[in-house]
């Protein structure tokens, strides 16, 4: 008889269990070691006094290489588990870290913020919903809500109207690429940078002195008195701040609208022209319905942006002269006035205001092809 090789002989049950447990322990050790390595890298970045160039290299290597190391180690673990167990564990191992990060950096801070909002200014006494009642009854916070509503309506309308208008006009121009590049250029500027730029644009000096602010230079040339555009002419000063956001976001809206317009079948436009429709009728009855989804996307994105606006206000006016918004008022109450209860309540109000728009967006995406 032929002898059966040792590698092909069936193992005893006890041996098979021992081998399986050994493989599982080795497989589990790989991600544990990977985590320890990543943790040590974090401690080095946090506490090291090494030269900045060394820290930068370690940060890049640790960040990019750490993700790859986790992926490889988890994959190693999955490959060594029994097929049935591996298929069940796979989603948790690869989605688990992301969920853990979301829980640690988003869910838990939100719960903690809500809990703090139920206490007094110094968190020493439980006051229930008193902070929320104060938020919705204090004149200063009601002014903040009014300003945010103004940002949401005027800012969103301005971004959509100007973005759509420029997209339509640019698509018919010989200088389409150059025009779109110029309009899109402000998107490369941060909100803080834009605030600094427009501070110079709105700069005001006493009458009779040279006006270095562009707007006041024109106004003075026309015979008008120099104006503190963002300070003294309340509540119109809010519109001068909102215009900065429109200037920044119009390029974003233009790009999306332009891509949507180019995606409209040419046969529809041609059929409308054959039927005798004017360009205005084509725009209203063909173009707008065809790009309705893109318009909704731009509107919801801009609404979320206006609800969270902070940078422009703090750079331009510091929330003074009736220009405060929810995000700035939260910052002022929590970090300046040290009123943790009201500050946390404002943060929760802002979160609740943003959530419906986000949910609506997610439902729209799920309803589209590819998200079903």
Contact of 333 with 343, CB cutoff 8 Å:
yes
Tell me which of 345 and 9 has the higher pLDDT: 345
Helix (H, G, I), strand (E, B) or coil at 119: strand
CB 246 within 8 A of CB 155: yes
More confident residue, 261 or 88: 261
Return the closest-CA partner of residue 258 out of 161, 121, 135, 164. 164
157, pLDDT greater than 80: yes
- DSSP lists the bridge partners of residue 119 as 126
Look at residue 78 in the predicted model and tell me its pLDDT.
73
> In a 3-state reduction of DSSP, which class is residue 126?
strand
- Write down the H helix ranges in the chain: 13-47, 52-79, 83-102, 108-116, 130-135, 139-150, 156-171, 176-184, 191-201, 214-221, 237-262, 266-274, 279-282, 288-290, 292-307, 311-316, 326-331, 340-367
**pLDDT confidence of residue 147:** 93
Q: For residues 77, 81, 83 and 86, what is the CA-based torsion angle, rounded to 10 degrees?
A: -50
pLDDT (0 to 100) of residue 178 = 85
Q: What is the mean pLDDT of residues 298-305?
A: 92
218 pLDDT more than 80: yes
Q: How far apart (Å, rounded) are the C-alpha atoms in residues 211 and 145?
A: 34
Tokens of 141: 């916070």
More confident residue, 82 or 47: 47
| pLDDT beyond 60 at 329 | yes
More confident residue, 93 or 113: 113
Domain boundaries in the chain? 6-116, 131-367
Q: Taking the alpha carbons of 361, 363, 364, 368 in that order, is the dihedral positive or negative?
A: positive
Which of 75-84, 214-223, 325-334 shows the lowest per-residue confidence on average (mean pLDDT)? 75-84
Q: Which residue has the higher pLDDT, 339 or 174?
A: 339
Residue % of the chain over a pLDDT of 90: 30
pLDDT band at 20 (very low <50, low <70, confident <90, very high): low
131-367 is classed CATH 1.10.3720.10 = yes
257-301 confidence digits (pLDDT tens): 999 988 888 888 888 888 888 888 888 888 888 898 899 989 999
CA dihedral 162, 166, 169, 171 (to 10 degrees): -140
Query: What pLDDT, on the 0 to 100 scale, is given for residue 371?
Result: 42
Residue 62 has pLDDT above 80, yes or no: no
CA dist 86 and 78 (Å) reads 5
% of the chain with per-residue pLDDT over 70: 85
Show the tokens assigned to 148: 């945010």
Q: Tell me the average pLDDT of the chain.
A: 83
Dihedral (CA of 314, 318, 323, 325) sign: positive
Residue 19 has pLDDT above 80, yes or no: no
Say whether pLDDT at 6 is over 70. no
- pLDDT tier for residue 64 given thresholds of 50, 70 and 90: confident
Predicted confidence at residue 212, as pLDDT, reads: 84
Query: How far apart are alpha carbons 276 and 319 in whole angstroms?
Result: 53
Q: Which of 346, 284, 293, 281 has its CA nearest to residue 319?
A: 346
pLDDT at 1: 46
**Tens of pLDDT, residues 97-106:** 777 778 888 8
Q: How far apart are CA 250 and CA 164, in angstroms?
A: 9
pLDDT number for residue 211: 83
Determine the average pLDDT of the residues in 60-69.
76
Structure tokens at 322: 């009736």
pLDDT of residue 26: 59
pTM of structure: 0.77
3-state secondary structure of 206: coil
Distance between CA 176 and CA 166 in Å, rounded? 10
Q: How confident is the model at residue 370 (pLDDT cuts 50, 70, 90)?
A: very low
């Amino acid at each position: 008889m032929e002898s059966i090789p040792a590698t092909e002989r069936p193992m005893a049950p006890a041996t098979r269990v021992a081998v399986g447990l050994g493989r599982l322990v080795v497989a589990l050790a790989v991600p544990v070691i990977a985590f320890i390595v990543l943790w040590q890298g974090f401690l080095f970045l946090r506490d090291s006094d090494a030269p900045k160039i060394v820290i930068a290299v370690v940060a890049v290597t640790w960040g990019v290489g750490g993700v790859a190391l986790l992926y490889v180690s988890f994959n190693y673990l999955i490959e060594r588990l029994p097929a049935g167990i591996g298929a069940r564990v796979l989603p948790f191992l690869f989605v688990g870290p992301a969920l853990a990060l979301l829980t640690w950096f988003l869910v838990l801070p939100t719960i903690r913020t809500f809990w703090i909002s139920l206490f007094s200014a110094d968190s020493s006494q439980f006051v229930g919903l008193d902070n929320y009642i104060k938020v919705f009854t204090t004149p200063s916070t009601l002014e903040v809500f009014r300003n945010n509503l103004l940002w949401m309506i005027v800012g969103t309308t301005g971004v959509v109207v100007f973005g759509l208008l420029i997209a339509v006009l640019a698509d018919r121009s010989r200088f389409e690429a150059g025009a779109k590049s110029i309009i899109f250029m402000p998107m490369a500027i941060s909100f803080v940078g834009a605030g600094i730029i427009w501070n110079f644009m709105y700069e005001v000096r006493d009458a009779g002195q040279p006006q270095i602010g562009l707007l006041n230079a024109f106004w003075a040339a026309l015979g008008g008195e120099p104006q503190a555009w963002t300070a003294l002419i309340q509540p119109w000063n809010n519109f001068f701040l909102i215009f900065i956001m429109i200037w920044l976001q119009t390029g974003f809206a233009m790009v999306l609208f332009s891509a949507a317009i180019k995606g409209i079948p040419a046969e529809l436009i041609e059929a409308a022209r054959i039927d005798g429709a004017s360009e205005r009728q084509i725009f209203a009855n063909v173009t707008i319905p065809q790009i309705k989804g893109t318009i909704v996307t731009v509107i919801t994105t801009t609404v979320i942006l206006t609800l969270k606006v902070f940078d422009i206000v703090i750079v331009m006016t510091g929330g003074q002269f009736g220009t405060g918004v929810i995000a700035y008022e939260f910052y002022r109450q929590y970090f300046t006035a040290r009123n943790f209860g009201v500050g946390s309540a404002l943060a929760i109000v802002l979160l609740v205001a943003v959530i419906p728009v986000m949910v609506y967006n997610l439902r729209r995406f799920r309803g589209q092809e590819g998200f079903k």
